[in-house]
A and B are shown apart, each in its own frame.
Chain A
Amino acid sequence: MKADKIKFLVFCLLVLLAPLPLSGGYLVNVLVFVGINSMLALGLNLLLGYAGQISLGQAAFFGLGAYGSGVLTTQFAMNPWLAMLIVAVCVAAFAFAVGFPVLRLKGHYLAMATLGVGVIAHIAFNETIDLTGGPSGLSGIPYLSIGEFIFDTDLKNYYLVWGFALVMILLSLNLVNSRVGRGLRAIHDSEVAARVMGVDARLMKVQVFALSAFISAIAGSLYCHIMTFISPTSFSFHISIELLTMVVIGGLGSVYGSVLGALLLTMLPEMLRAFEDFDIIVYGLLLVSMTIYLPGGLVRGIPMLFRHLLPKRGSHA
């Protein structure tokens, strides 16, 4: 327990100090998006890594959060913070309702159902032109602000986003180490056994689904206020797959793994800039090879690698 607390505090410190050596450079902007992606990956990981439920439609909740906040603050001039809260609660409620029929399914059927939800949401964003601006997007979304303090630069947005992210991470860490978390993992291993032991699997799955939707919606709201412009292309099936990749590469069932995966995948295009057109191939290769050779993700793979490489104590004659 104590080790976990220390780990978290160290992580917080890292996050707080990270922008300083970067002196307001372009990397701060990238790290803002890493923060958003971390929250999204975290939401998915709770559902996928802990509860074992496949979801290929996370972009739907991300988009609902973004468009919800965007529309409420532009067309109805609502206070952005109020809008964020209302939208997140509504999206969670929606997920809760949809979750009951959807989460009765398993494996590929569940994947397909969540994919369907994602595609339908994306089409809705595209077609409800009067509300969302359709394919041309929604612009003029206001910045978030507290009194006179406006979040309009990369540095301010960095602390805003990571502030939220750290809170989410803390809550998730508490969740997975609690009775609920153990229940989730029990469901993952064997739903039948969990039920026999008294875990209300059905309710719990839907609750996790709603929680992951809530987190994604908040990430969506933050995203729309940072970009001040959103369009449906940012919430497509493609994004759901990217999130899935982040979670797999980072580490299924690991809170920090979500962050690692988000960091890597957001920075990957930067690193691959030299390869230009080849990056799509590297992407696919990574996905395939990680699943075959490092199924635990990097967050477990790297320590494993270290253990192999470093000489064991007392092995010298």
Chain B
Amino acid sequence: MKAKGGTFVNKLITTALVSFALCCLSTAALAAAPIKIGALFAVTGPASFLGEPERNSAQMVVDEINKAGGVKGRKLQLIIYDTGGDATKAVQLANRLIKNDRVVAIIGPSTTGDTMAVIPVVERAQIPLIACAAGIKITEPVKKWVFKTAQNDTLAVARIYEQLKRERKNKVAILTVSDSFGSSGREQLKSQAARYGMQIVADDTYGPKDTDMTAQLTRIRGSRAQAVICWGTNPGPAVIARNAKQLGVTLPLYMSHGVSSKKFIDLAGDAAEGVRLPSGKVLVADLLSKSDKQKSALQAYIRDYQRHFKAEGDHFGGHAWDAVMLLKGAIERGGESPAAIRNQLEATRGFAGIGGVFNYSARDHAGLGRDAFVLVEVKKKSWTLVK
């Protein structure tokens, strides 16, 4: 039998040791708990050309981050749901991510339609959303919890109009696809025309699955247009390029960043020659000057995507890459709760991503400027920069 004092000290030491051990264990448990991030992409359905590369890129960069040790010692857990391009599903899945999976932030959705539907949900639940869709209405007017990584259509349109103005062409024919991407572009083309002295002499549309646009192009050929601007995503613009060649339409043909991928050249074949479009820099990463801040990130992205998926890393996948990296930065700078992440996102400055250099602020949740786009032209089946 030990002395009473000894037993007491023993008890004290044991309690201290046990408490210390428990503290260590719980911190270890906390440290091991992954940070849950939700993702909504249109992997199937009419917008799968957006959702699939976005899902791939997001998964790829999260895996890389985790392999390098995670963020502040914690792994990232990416929970991806497929909206199928359907706004109703997007809302249901956003609710699932927030209430069921308890994510601290959501990246995506891929389309403007899905994003607009999800905005009321995240605003009410106060969870930050980094959308990968281009519609300008997403961040104008600014909503507290909503950010985006895709460049605004306004910037792309401005690029094209600037070039046309420089070449002293001011009568344009526009041919836009009748989905949210095309109609958003059409809105911008019309609203910015006056500022650059452009006159829209023909305003036609085509359906996303249409296979023959000779009727519209015939009309355009008969108008006084000096240039044709086509706003859509594959395969429509490829068909249009071919139809234009068939009909002998020799007007300069401008496309949107919706076709900034090698796929367009593959589909349009010879008809792609001479086509110009505003593109995110990912398309011409190798042609950029060494001083360009984005060059290293772009080349790394293209290399990794090629290695992982045996396909060309494109402009759209880049939106998701940017979203994840922006989140990573925000979490590293001190955000672990949704509110803290949101504040840190808003404070992001000078992040050189795939889509451009991001500078968020309280009044600007889109973050990109004019330099997000470069004008490229197809020459001999590959992309070149237009000076």
* A contacts B: CB pair < 8 Å: yes
Binding site for B on A (CB under 8 A): 24-26, 29-30, 33, 126-127, 129, 134-137, 139, 152, 154, 227-231, 233-234, 269-270, 273, 276-277, 280
* Chain B residues closer than 8 Å to A273, beta-carbon distance: 81
B101 nearest CB neighbor, chain A only: A26
The reply to whether B178 and A231 contact each other, CB–CB distance below 8 Å, is no
* Chain B residues closer than 8 Å to A280, beta-carbon distance: 44
The reply to whether B95 and A227 contact each other, CB–CB distance below 8 Å, is no
Cβ 8 A contact of B100, one of A25, A127, A135, A276: A25
* Chain B residues closer than 8 Å to A276, beta-carbon distance: 43, 82
The reply to whether B87 and A233 contact each other, CB–CB distance below 8 Å, is yes
The reply to whether B178 and A139 contact each other, CB–CB distance below 8 Å, is no
Let me know if B184 is at the binding interface, CB within 8 A: yes
A231 to B116 alpha-carbon distance, docked (Å): 9
B46 nearest CB neighbor, chain A only: A233
Cβ 8 A contact of A26, one of B43, B95, B179: B95
B116-136 Cβ-contact flags toward A at 8 Å (1 or 0): 110110001000000000010
A277 to B183 alpha-carbon distance, docked (Å): 29
Of A26, A33, A233, most buried by chain B (CB within 10 Å of CB) is A233
Let me know if B99 is at the binding interface, CB within 8 A: yes
* Chain A residues closer than 8 Å to B82, beta-carbon distance: 276
The reply to whether B112 and A227 contact each other, CB–CB distance below 8 Å, is no
The reply to whether B113 and A136 contact each other, CB–CB distance below 8 Å, is yes
Q: Give the shortest distance, in Å, between A147 (CB) and chain B (any CB).
A: 21
17 A-B contacts (beta carbon < 8 Å): A29-B99, A135-B179, A137-B112, A137-B117, A139-B119, A227-B88, A227-B117, A227-B120, A228-B120, A229-B119, A230-B87, A231-B117, A231-B180, A233-B86, A269-B89, A276-B82, A277-B44
* Main DSSP-derived SS at the B contact region: helix
* Chain A residues closer than 8 Å to B43, beta-carbon distance: 276-277
The reply to whether A136 and B88 contact each other, CB–CB distance below 8 Å, is no
Let me know if B96 is at the binding interface, CB within 8 A: yes
Cβ 8 A contact of B178, one of A24, A33, A127, A227: A127
Contact A231-B87, Cβ < 8 Å, known A29-B92, A33-B92: yes
* Main DSSP-derived SS at the A contact region: helix
Contact A139-B95, Cβ < 8 Å, known A127-B178, A230-B87: no
Given contacts A134-B183, A136-B187, 20 further A-B contacts (CB under 8 A): A25-B100, A26-B95, A26-B100, A30-B92, A33-B88, A33-B92, A126-B178, A135-B179, A135-B182, A136-B112, A136-B113, A136-B183, A137-B180, A154-B95, A227-B91, A227-B117, A229-B119, A234-B86, A234-B87, A276-B43
Report the 10 A-B pairs with minimum CB-CB distance, sorted nearest first: A26-B99, A29-B95, A231-B113, A26-B100, A135-B180, A135-B183, A26-B96, A229-B117, A134-B183, A135-B179
* Chain A residues closer than 8 Å to B91, beta-carbon distance: 29, 227
Q: Give the shortest distance, in Å, between B273 (CB) and chain A (any CB).
A: 31
B95-110 Cβ-contact flags toward A at 8 Å (1 or 0): 1101110000000000
Q: Give the shortest distance, in Å, between B95 (CB) and chain A (any CB).
A: 4
* Chain A residues closer than 8 Å to B117, beta-carbon distance: 137, 227, 229, 231
B100 nearest CB neighbor, chain A only: A26
Q: How many A-B residue pairs have CB under 8 A?
A: 82
Let me know if B85 is at the binding interface, CB within 8 A: yes
Let me know if B137 is at the binding interface, CB within 8 A: yes
Contact A234-B183, Cβ < 8 Å, known A25-B100, A136-B137, A137-B116: no
A135 to B43 alpha-carbon distance, docked (Å): 19
* Chain A residues closer than 8 Å to B46, beta-carbon distance: 233
* Chain A residues closer than 8 Å to B98, beta-carbon distance: 26
B29-70 Cβ-contact flags toward A at 8 Å (1 or 0): 000000000000001101000000000000000000000000
Q: Give the shortest distance, in Å, between A245 (CB) and chain B (any CB).
A: 15
* Chain A residues closer than 8 Å to B81, beta-carbon distance: 273
A29 to B94 alpha-carbon distance, docked (Å): 10
* Chain B residues closer than 8 Å to A30, beta-carbon distance: 92, 95
A86 to B89 alpha-carbon distance, docked (Å): 28
A139 to B85 alpha-carbon distance, docked (Å): 17
A129 to B185 alpha-carbon distance, docked (Å): 13
Cβ 8 A contact of B113, one of A154, A228, A233, A277: A233
* Chain B residues closer than 8 Å to A25, beta-carbon distance: 99-100
A135 to B184 alpha-carbon distance, docked (Å): 8
A137 to B187 alpha-carbon distance, docked (Å): 13
* Chain A residues closer than 8 Å to B99, beta-carbon distance: 24-26, 29
Cβ 8 A contact of A136, one of B96, B120, B124, B135: B135
Contact A229-B178, Cβ < 8 Å, known A26-B95, A136-B184, A137-B116: no
* Chain A residues closer than 8 Å to B86, beta-carbon distance: 233-234
A230 to B91 alpha-carbon distance, docked (Å): 11
The reply to whether B178 and A135 contact each other, CB–CB distance below 8 Å, is yes
A234 to B180 alpha-carbon distance, docked (Å): 13
* Chain B residues closer than 8 Å to A277, beta-carbon distance: 43-44
Of A25, A126, A229, most buried by chain B (CB within 10 Å of CB) is A229
A88 to B45 alpha-carbon distance, docked (Å): 31
Of A29, A126, A234, most buried by chain B (CB within 10 Å of CB) is A29
Q: Give the shortest distance, in Å, between B299 (CB) and chain A (any CB).
A: 31
The reply to whether A136 and B44 contact each other, CB–CB distance below 8 Å, is no
A143 nearest CB neighbor, chain B only: B120
Q: Give the shortest distance, in Å, between B84 (CB) and chain A (any CB).
A: 9
The reply to whether A137 and B87 contact each other, CB–CB distance below 8 Å, is yes
* Chain A residues closer than 8 Å to B85, beta-carbon distance: 233
Q: Give the shortest distance, in Å, between A140 (CB) and chain B (any CB).
A: 10
Contact A139-B116, Cβ < 8 Å, known A30-B92, A33-B92: yes
A255 to B299 alpha-carbon distance, docked (Å): 60
Q: Give the shortest distance, in Å, between A163 (CB) and chain B (any CB).
A: 20
* Chain B residues closer than 8 Å to A228, beta-carbon distance: 120
* Chain A residues closer than 8 Å to B184, beta-carbon distance: 136
* Chain B residues closer than 8 Å to A269, beta-carbon distance: 89
* Chain B residues closer than 8 Å to A233, beta-carbon distance: 46, 85-87, 113
